[in-house]
Each structure stands twice: as structure tokens, then as C-alpha cells.
Amino acid sequence: MVVGDFAEEVDTLIVGSGPGGYVAAIRAAQLGQKVTIVEKGEIGGVCLNVGCIPSKALIQAGHRFHDAQHGSEDMGIATEKATVDFSKVQEWKAGVVKKLTGGVEGLLKGNKVNIVQGEAYFSDKNQVKVSSDEYNSQTYKFKNCIIATGSRPIEIPTLKYTDRVINSTGALQLEEIPKKLVVVGGGYIGVELATAYANLGSEVTILEGEKRILGGFEKQMSQLVDRRLKKNGVTVETEAFAQSVKETKKSVKLTAEVKGEEKTFEADYVLVSVGRRPNTEELGLEQIGVDMTDRGLIKIDKQSRTSLDNIYAIGDIVDGPALAHKASYEGKVAAEAISGEASAIDYLAIPLVAFTEPELASVGYTEDEAKEAGYDAKASKFPFQANGRALSLNDSEGFMKLITRKEDGLVIGAQIAGPNASDMVAELGLAIEAGMTAEDVAMTIHAHPTLGEITMEAAEVALGLPIHIK
């Protein structure tokens, strides 16, 4: 028997409550819409529950333990033997997640967004049926809908997920620190988690199919991370392809082809991190006429609108990098478009960040991309080792590269490798969005001593007037 299946009418229905969905819901409500958000899992989606937030918490715990364990003898600081209680680390991490997800739920309710737990399936372009269990469903009739269902880790057929072969979600929920961990995939998620567990004491091996790790970043940037990983005892195998696994109750043996030769790796766990797949299969989208790509991505226009004029899609289920901040940005655009505003997507200044050692960040064009796009561009580089704050942090490895247009110094891109790169990149994103030149950046007074001064210094290099390097 179906209970309560009388259509409930809403202005805007949002499917998925991750950083795309919940932001879209709040913005739509702010603009006067009656909003219902549907979530089949936990409020906050992958990012807050099993992605961005818990991974950064684990990375931070790893940093703390590594620093405590090794001390800073060159600064005159020695430490006693450090220990880690991993159950407490996981408890603390869960507390961080709970605060944020609880906060998001409070924000949704504060903006009068109706929260519905269940799985959505489209009946037509104006209706979905939300099922919370086998016998309980509710139909919602909407004027507009924003789909924000996110993505999930790709599973390799030869490396099926088990208790010992895990994805990023499983890696964040381990009850023990692995003595040995093999990471299949050298993208930013794999390298971030490899770094975290290496800092917590695991013996880590990374297997990457390409010729270098972190292929989404410039070679100079990924080389810094590769060097630091190896310095910290991580083995990095490139041109390596996992073939098969044999598992016991306490360990797993992975066979891989590395540069044409067969090698075997034994570990407590194998973490598979080779990309993500959009969650679009079980929504009924094709039967209602939503155009999709061969990869299962939803086709959208500059306002996140699909082939159906009242249905929008954002985040990991549309083309572009699978980034939480991209999803949030698209969510605002979609909510504003529904409200009749002229908002449109412009991806030029969307930052890409890896919380590695050192941190990496890129925004706008790289030097090669700028030239491919037809710009007469130049790159101006400034090293962290010439910055007083970086030296006082005892963390001065890295650089900033500013990409400008030669004719007028317009800032069109930037790459940063070094401490706090994830925070520093925002200023460069603003410079690109605001149409600022290198002179504008150089003439902005930056506080001293800060890492932010590196941005000013790189701009001065672009002007040919550097102060702190020759």
C-alpha cells in the first residue's frame, strides 16, 4: 500500500543536499521560492560526510602527528616519542563532520527549506516520486527542479571493493592505521590520502598509470610533491597498472605491471582512487527527455539549464572538474536563473587545489594554456624561500607563478606550490574576475610579514621591478 501519495506542490525541488544542492536551496529560498530538498543519504552529501571535510581533518591530524614525532631540531625544539590514538582521531573527525552537517541542516531550516529523506525518481518533467522505503512514497509537483546528485568512486572490474580493497570513503572510515597501504591512482584524492596515512605512520606505495602523479597540475608543481613524498618514505611507481588482487582476512596482495614488468605489492589495504562517476543512472532522466553524454553527464547551458527548460543540473553530474566549490557556484547560478536573474556560468577563475605537501593551487590559465588560447602571455615566478614569513614557518619550498598578458599586464592565471596555497589562491581568483593588472596587484599594500606578500612580489616580477630577488 502506498501511503500519502497525493502530489505536494513546490516552486523549486532540489535533488541532493551536497555543496551544490544545499547552496542552491538556500539561494532559491532567499529569492522568494518555496523550496523542498530531497536527500537519500546524509545532509551535506559526499563533501561534508565522506569527502572534502573528513579528508582535510585526517590530513591535519597527520600533519600534527608528523610534526610531533619529528620535532624541529634545527629550531632548537625536540619532542618526546609521539603516539597516536586513531580511535580518538576518528572521533574528532566525526565531530567536525557533525558540526558542519548540523550547521547546514540548521541553515536549510532557517531559510524555510523543507527537507525530505528519500530517493527521487522523475515521473515527468514536472513530477518526482520520492521513496523512503518499499512501502512509503510521496509525489512532488514542481515548477522548477535542480538536480545535484553528485558522484561516486569508480570501481575497477579487476579491483572490486571488499573489506581490504577500499575506495576513498572506506579509507576515511578505517578503524586502524594501516601498517602498509597501496594507493592505486596518483590524482589529488589518492595523493592527499596517501600523504595523510604516511604522516600517521603507514608505509605507503602509490601506483600511477601516467608518467607522473597529479597530472591536473603543471609538471613543476607535481615534481615538488613527488619529491616530498619520497623524502617522507612514500614509494611512487609511475606507468604502473594494477592487474589483480588476492585477499586474506588480514592482508591483500596486488599484482601490477610497472613499466612493462610484473611486480607484486603486499599491504593491509589497497585504496583505489582512479576518478569518480556521476550519479545519474537511477533518476529516470532519459525517459523524460534530459539530454546526456556517453559518460552519463547531463548537458547544460550557461545557466545550468538542461534540455528541459524547467530542469537544471549542477556539480559532478555536469561537465567540468568534480569540485565542491564549482557545484556551489553553479547552484547559485541555477537558483538565480530560476528567479529570472541574468546569472551565467563563467569558469575562467575556478580554482583547483590539492591539499598535498606542499599544497598546490591553480586558477585561470597556465602559461601553456594561455598560449594555446591565443594570448601573448608571460609567466613571472617568485620563490617562497625569498619570503620572510615562509622562512619563519620553516616551510619555504615552493613558488608562485603569475600569468599575465604582455600587452597590458592583465592577470589571466596563477599557479602556487607552497604552504597555504589553498588560501592564497583566492586573491588571484579575485584579480582575474575583477580584470586587474599586475600593476594593480603590485600597488596593493600587503601586510608584512605574510605569505600574501608573495602575490605582490610575483606581480612586481611581472612588471620587471622585483625588490626581493634579482
Which residues participate in the annotated binding site for FAD?
A: 56, 149-151, 316
The set of residues, in sequence order, having a beta carbon less than 8 Å from that of 310 and lying 6+ positions away, is: 125, 126, 142, 143, 144, 145
Contact 328/336 with Cβ under 8 angstroms? no
Q: How far is CA 28 from CA 35, 102, 338, in A?
A: 7, 20, 8
Angle at the Cα of 418 from the Cα atoms of 414 and 424, rounded to 5 degrees: 50
Contact 353/359 with Cβ under 8 angstroms? yes
Q: Let me know if 446 is a catalytic residue.
A: no
Alpha helix (H) residue ranges in 235-362: 324-338
Burial class (CB in 10 A: 0-12, 13-18, 19+), 444: middle
Number of H helices, E strands in the chain: 13, 22
Binding residues: 56, 149-151, 185-192, 208, 275, 316
Sequence-distant contacts of 46-49: CB under 8 A, at least 24 apart? 46/18, 46/150, 46/151, 46/152, 47/18, 47/19, 47/324, 48/18, 48/19, 48/97, 48/100, 48/101, 48/104, 49/97, 49/101
Beta bridge partners of 358: none
Contact 119/131 with Cβ under 8 angstroms? yes
Distance CA 327, CA 183 (A): 27
The set of residues, in sequence order, having a beta carbon less than 8 Å from that of 236 and lying 6+ positions away, is: 186, 205, 206, 208, 213, 226, 229, 230
Sequence-distant contacts of 130-137: CB under 8 A, at least 24 apart? 130/38, 135/1, 135/2, 135/3, 136/2, 136/3, 136/4, 137/2, 137/3, 137/4, 137/5
Q: How far is CA 446 from CA 99, 114, 427, 451, in A?
A: 34, 44, 11, 9
Catalytic residue among 70, 325, 446, 448: 448
Residue 106's H or E segment, with its range, is helix 86-110
**Residue 17 identity (one-letter amino acid):** S
Binding residues for NAD(+): 185-192, 208, 275
DSSP 8-class letter at 36: E
Q: Which residues are catalytic?
A: 448
